[in-house]
C-alpha cells in the first residue's frame, strides 16, 4: 500500500460559518432574529446574536498560512483560506489533502452549540438551532453528498426539545451530534443526572454518535500567565482525559449497549495508561465505591472499547501501541483549518504513521471505524472505493494552490515589541481584545 491508496475520513474538522448561512433557513416571521455578521472599524468581522457581539470569528483558522503567522488569529474572512467558510473551496482543499469525508464542528456558536444556552429568549434559540442544523445538513453537507458527515447541534437546555431535534435530524440523514463534554460546567445537569435518560435512549435507538470536543465544557488550564503558550498547547488535547473518565462511568452505557461516544481532538497516546489506571481503580476500589460495568468480570476498559471512539492527528506512540487501545476504536482527524492541521500534507504524514500496521488495521483507523461510528456510507455515496482514494481525490485538485500565504492578522505581541517567547498572558490578552464590544 502507498499513500495514494489510502482512504481517509476525518472525525474532527471545523467550519467558520459564512454570513449567508441563515438566509435560506429562517421563515419570514423569524427574519428579525437572524444573527448578523458585521465589521468593526479595525476590519474585524464579528457576529451579533440576540443584540450581543460574539468575538473573533476565525479563532485559529490558519490553514495555508506561513507558520510564522500561526499564532496570529484571523479576525476576518479575508484573512483565511476560503475553504474555512466556503463549501466549494473546502471540497477543493479536501481533495488536495486526500480527505474523502469530514465531520465538522461549529465555530461561532461554539463546538457544542453552547452559545444558545445564553439566550434569554429560548424559543428564538430553538429556532436558530434548527436553522443551523438545516443549513449544516442541507447546504454544507448536502452540496457534495458523501464528502461531509452531518453533525447537529442541540437545544440541550431542554431535554424534551433535544430529543425531538435528534429525531428530526435523523430523518434528514444525520447520525452524529455535538454535545458538551461536561454540561454541568455550563449550568446544566451532570451527565449522571436522570434528567438525560431520554437523550441517551434516543441516541441509542437511532444509532446516533455523541461527539464531545475538547474545550466544550472542561478547559485546559494555563499553568500561569507567564508560562510559554507552548505548554498550554501541549496539554490541550489531553485535557479531555478528565471528561473521558467521567463519561466512562456513565451508567447509561450499561443500559444501552450501542450508545456511542466520540472523544474529539483528544489524541490517543495517553489512552493505554488511562485504561490501565481505570482497571486498577475498579479492581482496587470498587468494593467500597460500588461502581459497576455491567456484570461480573467486566472492567472499565471493556466498556471503553465498546462505546468510545478516539482520534489522532499525528500520534506515533499511540499507533505503536494500538493493541493496548483497540484497533476498532481509533480514527483519524485532520483538524482543518486549525493550527494543528497538517494540511495539505495530512495524507503523506498519515501514511508514514500507519505504514507499520497490517492492511486491515490501516483500513480501520483511516476510515472504516469513523464511518461505522457515524453511520455514514461515504464510499457508497461516492460510487466506490476507487473514487475515494488519496490519489483519486488529489487528481481532482490540480488547480488548488498549496503555496503558503501571508494573510496578516493581529499579533499576540504588542506592535513594535521585540521578538520574545509568547506567553499565556499574550494569548489571553489577544482574545480579550478580539472579544471587546464594537
Share of the chain above pLDDT 90, in %: 85
Average pLDDT over residues 386-402: 97
Going by C-alpha positions, the residue among 263, 254, 242 that lies closest to residue 309 is 263
Q: Is the pLDDT score of 430 beyond 70? A: yes
By DSSP bridging, strand 45-49 and strand 52-54 are antiparallel
Q: Is the pLDDT score of 437 beyond 80? A: no
Pick the more confident residue, 416 or 120: 120
Give the end-to-end CA distance of the chain in Å, rounded to a whole number. Answer: 54
pLDDT tens digits, one per residue of 261-317: 999 999 999 999 999 999 999 999 999 999 999 888 899 999 999 999 999 999 999
Average pLDDT over residues 358-367: 98
Distance CA 417, CA 397 (A): 41
Question: Model-level pTM greater than 0.75?
Answer: yes
Provide the pLDDT for residue 43.
Answer: 84
Q: Do 6 and 347 meet the contact criterion of CB atoms below 8 Å apart?
A: yes
β-sheet bridge partners, residue 280: none
Provide the pLDDT for residue 438.
Answer: 41
Pick the more confident residue, 427 or 304: 304
Distance CA 158, CA 34 (A): 21
Q: Do 96 and 109 meet the contact criterion of CB atoms below 8 Å apart?
A: no
pLDDT tens digits, one per residue of 192-208: 999 999 999 999 999 99
Q: Is the pLDDT score of 362 beyond 60? A: yes
Provide the pLDDT for residue 434.
Answer: 66
Provide the pLDDT for residue 69.
Answer: 83
Distance CA 426, CA 71 (A): 10
Q: Do 354 and 366 meet the contact criterion of CB atoms below 8 Å apart?
A: yes
Helix or strand run (H / E) with residue 260 = strand 260-264
Provide the pLDDT for residue 374.
Answer: 98
CB atoms near residue 311 (< 10 Å): 28
Residue-averaged pLDDT of the chain: 94
pLDDT tens digits, one per residue of 92-105: 999 999 999 999 99
Average pLDDT over residues 220-233: 94
Q: Please, what are the domains in the chain?
A: 3-434 (3.20.20.140)
Amino acid at each position: 500500500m502507498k499513500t495514494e491508496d489510502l482512504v481517509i475520513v476525518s472525525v474532527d474538522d471545523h467550519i467558520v460559518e459564512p454570513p449567508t448561512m441563515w438566509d435560506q433557513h429562517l421563515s419570514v416571521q423569524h427574519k428579525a432574529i437572524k444573527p448578523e455578521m458585521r465589521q468593526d472599524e479595525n476590519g474585524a468581522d464579528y457576529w451579533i446574536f440576540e443584540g450581543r457581539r460574539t468575538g473573533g470569528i476565525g479563532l485559529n483558522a490558519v490553514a495555508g498560512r506561513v507558520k510564522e503567522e500561526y499564532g496570529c488569529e484571523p479576525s476576518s474572512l479575508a484573512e483565511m483560506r476560503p475553504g474555512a467558510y466556503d463549501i466549494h473551496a473546502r471540497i477543493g482543499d479536501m481533495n488536495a489533502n486526500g480527505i474523502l469525508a469530514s465531520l465538522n464542528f461549529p465555530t461561532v456558536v461554539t463546538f457544542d452549540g453552547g452559545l444558545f444556552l445564553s439566550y434569554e429568549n429560548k424559543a428564538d434559540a430553538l429556532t436558530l438551532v434548527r436553522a443551523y442544523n438545516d443549513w449544516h445538513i442541507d447546504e454544507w453537507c448536502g452540496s457534495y453528498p458523501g464528502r461531509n458527515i452531518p453533525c447537529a447541534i442541540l437545544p440541550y437546555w431542554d431535554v424534551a426539545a433535544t430529543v425531538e431535534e435528534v429525531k428530526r435530524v435523523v430523518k434528514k440523514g444525520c447520525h452524529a451530534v455535538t454535545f458538551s463534554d461536561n454540561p454541568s460546567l455550563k449550568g446544566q445537569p451532570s451527565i449522571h443526572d436522570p434528567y438525560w435518560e431520554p437523550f441517551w435512549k434516543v441516541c441509542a435507538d437511532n444509532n446516533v454518535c455523541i461527539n464531545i470536543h475538547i474545550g466544550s465544557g472542561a478547559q485546559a488550564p494555563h499553568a500561569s500567565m507567564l508560562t510559554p503558550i507552548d505548554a498550554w498547547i501541549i496539554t490541550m488535547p489531553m485535557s479531555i482525559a478528565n471528561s473521558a473518565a467521567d463519561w466512562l462511568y456513565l451508567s447509561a452505557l450499561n443500559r444501552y449497549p450501542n450508545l456511542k461516544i466520540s472523544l474529539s481532538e483528544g489524541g490517543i497516546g495517553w489512552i493505554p495508561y488511562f485504561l490501565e489506571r481505570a482497571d486498577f481503580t475498579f479492581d482496587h476500589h470498587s468494593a467500597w465505591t460500588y461502581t459497576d460495568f455491567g456484570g461480573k468480570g467486566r472492567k472499565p476498559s471493556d466498556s471503553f472499547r465498546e462505546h468510545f471512539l478516539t482520534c489522532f492527528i499525528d500520534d506515533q506512540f499511540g499507533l505503536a501501541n494500538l493493541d493496548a487501545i483497540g484497533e476498532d476504536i481509533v480514527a483519524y482527524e485532520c483538524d482543518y483549518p486549525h493550527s494543528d492541521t497538517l494540511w495539505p500534507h495530512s495524507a503523506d504524514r498519515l501514511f508514514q504513521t500507519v505504514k507499520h500496521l497490517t492492511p486491515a488495521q490501516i483500513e480501520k483507523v483511516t476510515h472504516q471505524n469513523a464511518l461505522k461510528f457515524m453511520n455514514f456510507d461515504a464510499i457508497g455515496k461516492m460510487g466506490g472505493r476507487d473514487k475515494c482514494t488519496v490519489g483519486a481525490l488529489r487528481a481532482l485538485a490540480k488547480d488548488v494552490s498549496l503555496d503558503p500565504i501571508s494573510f496578516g492578522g493581529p499579533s499576540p505581541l504588542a506592535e513594535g515589541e521585540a521578538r520574545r517567547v509568547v506567553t499565556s498572558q499574550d494569548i489571553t490578552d489577544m482574545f480579550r481584545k478580539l472579544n471587546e464590544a464594537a
